[in-house]
Chain A
Amino acid sequence: MLGYRLQKRDEPWNWGVPIVIVGALVLSFGISALLLELQGKSAVQGLLVLWQGSFGASWALEDALLKSIPIFLCALGVATAFRMQVWNIGAEGQFALGAIGATWAALTFPDLPGIVLMPLMFICAAIFGAFWAYIPAILRLKLQVNEIISTLMLNYIAILLLEYLVFGAWKDPASFGFPVTPEFTPGAIIGQIGDSRLHWGFAVCVGSGIAMWAFMRFTRLGFEIKVAGEGERIAMYSRLPYGMLTILVMAISGALAGWAGCIEASATINRLQPSIMVGYGYTAIVVAWLARLHPLYIGISAYLLAALRVGVENMQLELQTPASFGSIMEGLILMSVLAGQMFVTYKIVKKK
């Protein structure tokens, strides 16, 4: 390669990680700015608006925090599966199923008090989400069906299923034909924390984050998941219940994404409608990989990418840039981080 070649480092360059991430961010912003210029918009103004929308005002910070809740939960699940090298791309579909499960509970038992209904919704959401993740898990175990494709296809199917329900059986008779369910009863809506716009779903995030961290760090099952991620043969040598672990991580993954769907339906839009699907499940993959699958870093990167989404919405309003600007940035960031990780394990030396 032009007189240079790669050489494996004796010790991984741990300080390289933050440098690579910052570098990736700079590169991605640079390319995105160029795209704005191409569309005849001022790149400087665009990035300014993006910054304003992401971090420039208290409403922006609050918005980002709200958006980071579902992203965090999905990413936490995705990371658990990724750690075992089970490529669960299906957070989006599991999110949809979670929302469906919670909505089913909310619509079926509207008169239950919140203290009963709310746990019921969470349980339903977890079961529905976990079930949606169980399908590809069992297919992979029994038939070696590639889980990347099956989870992805289940995403499409889940979204269509959600549409089928809100266009059909669950449609609000009073909605003038709009595809929405009736609004949830107060017992089915997650309340605000104090006077802020932040709701108690945030506490669910913190709780699950800490629980997952402790689970992976201190328990034997957590250790076994870590080992299983090192390869199926090592798992077999260590007499790990590989199949059970696969199902477990997929179920955890699905349940967490399901909770995200439940919180989103209950706290954010107070009903089910197709617009609930905004691609949090895919953003979660970017978040998990940026955070190198570590729960604490997932918190940080979930917030950053949520902020990016809020900023892009701001750009949409002020500069009429399409919403897909956000996906471009997500894709760019992820690709440049992947490429940059080379520098953590390799160094570039001159050819002799």
Chain B
Amino acid sequence: MLESFIVPLLAATVQSGTPILYATLGEILTEKGGVLNLGVEGMMSMAAFAAFFVTMTTGNPWFGFIAGGIAGVFMAALHGLVCITCLGNQVVSGLALTILGVGLCNFLGTPYIGTATEGFDKFSFPVLSAIPYIGDIFFRQDALVYVSYLIPVLFMFFINRTSLGLAITAVGEKPAAAAAVGLKAVRLRWIALLGGGFLIGLGGSYLSLAYTHLWANGLSGGRGWIAVALVIFAFWRPGRAVFGAYLFGGVMAFQLRLQAVGTHIPSSLLLMLPYSLTILVLIFSAMRGRSGNAPAHLGINIEPEG
């Protein structure tokens, strides 16, 4: 049971949690700077296509991986243009970005449906993969999973131990305070938004380059929205984001496995699991009463003065 079911399930958990992890961390960075970006779903879709397309044309999946990140940056820039520069409503702009991103992804991707491409294959990480169980779960994965292990640590270091990280936190909490000490509040918001967009984009890349090596429309399948919800669950802290992402990875992997085994439970009910879990997770976070951890100025535009 342990060898044949649990360990493979946990390994699959890590794999399906990884794109969510990238996206959640990206959204945390964005929101730390005070911008609410609900466009994650659209950004991941676009990034998945960009990653697929660049890999297909260049043959190098690393180029594709970065291309996905860049696509995320471009999408985030659209949001920034509407909200930071033109002071549009952040909620509605994020929704529009999702509608646009998903549409664009399907529009551009339709001709390639079913096309296979290079991607990231699993390999055993030297030495560490020999650890019983742990090695099987965490260190027989693809390269992007290994990269994702580093990101939360780097992220925490960035926020707490660099001047830029502190400045971004200040802007999310109180832009006026940041401006009063001579920080450029608007520019910092852009940095957080675009940096977050890059991470979200990497999450999209993972979907088309490692999760599958085959292009299909609708790859994101609500993961972007789950990431937005996980930010609340994580109380804006990267450590809890890891936990949340793997929790969802676990449910998705479990649900797929059940379908594959062929139970009597209709697949539509199984597919509901991650979405229902999202609501439960939000209820759970609300009961812990930590929604006050949100950056104080989240979702509020910086209006120009005088």
Contacts and interface: CB of A to CB of B under 8 A. Distances in A.
Contact of A5 (B89, B95, B106, B304): B304
A289 B108 CA distance: 27
Nearest to B38: A148
A148 B38 CA distance: 9
Contacts of B101: 331
Contacts of A322: 106-107, 110
A62 B202 CA distance: 45
A149 B271 CA distance: 17
Given A282-B95, A324-B105, 7 more contacts: A145-B282, A285-B92, A322-B106, A325-B103, A328-B107, A330-B96, A338-B86
Contacts, number: 148
A5 B85 CA distance: 10
A47 to B, nearest CB: 16
A340 to B, nearest CB: 7
Given A6-B304, A338-B93, A324 B222 contact: no
A157 to B, nearest CB: 5
Interface in A7-55: 7-8, 35, 39
B222 to A, nearest CB: 6
A55 B62 CA distance: 47
Interface in A334-352: 334-335, 338-342, 345-346
A1 B302 CA distance: 14
A144 interface: yes
Interface in B261-284: 266, 268-269, 271-272, 275-276, 278-279, 282-283
A314 to B, nearest CB: 16
A328 B100 contact: yes
A272 interface: no
B97 A331 contact: yes
B286 A143 contact: yes
A89 interface: yes
A109 interface: no
B87 interface: yes
Interface string B284-296: 0011000100000
B89 A338 contact: yes
A164 B266 contact: yes
A7 B304 contact: yes
A212 interface: no
Nearest to A162: B268
Interface size class of A (residues with CB under 8 A): 35 or more
A335 to B, nearest CB: 5
Contacts of A286: 96, 99
Nearest to B221: A156
Per DSSP, are chain B's interface residues mostly helix, strand or loop, or mixed?
A: helix
28 contacts: A35-B104, A87-B91, A143-B287, A146-B229, A148-B38, A149-B225, A153-B278, A153-B279, A157-B272, A157-B275, A160-B272, A160-B275, A164-B268, A167-B266, A168-B266, A285-B95, A286-B96, A322-B107, A322-B110, A325-B103, A325-B107, A327-B99, A328-B103, A334-B99, A338-B96, A339-B82, A342-B88, A346-B87
Interface of A: 1, 5-8, 35, 39, 87, 89, 139, 143-146, 148-150, 152-154, 156-157, 160-161, 163-164, 167-168, 282, 285-286, 289, 321-328, 330-332, 334-335, 338-342, 345-346
Contacts of A338: 82, 86, 88-89, 92-93, 96
B151 interface: no
Interface string B67-102: 000000000001001100111110111011111111
6 smallest beta-carbon distances between A and B, as pairs: A331-B100, A327-B103, A338-B88, A324-B106, A143-B286, A334-B96
Contacts of A157: 272, 275-276
Given A145-B286, A322-B107, A330-B99, A335 B82 contact: yes
Contacts of A153: 222, 225, 229, 275-276, 278-279
A12 to B, nearest CB: 14
Nearest to B90: A338
Nearest to B110: A322
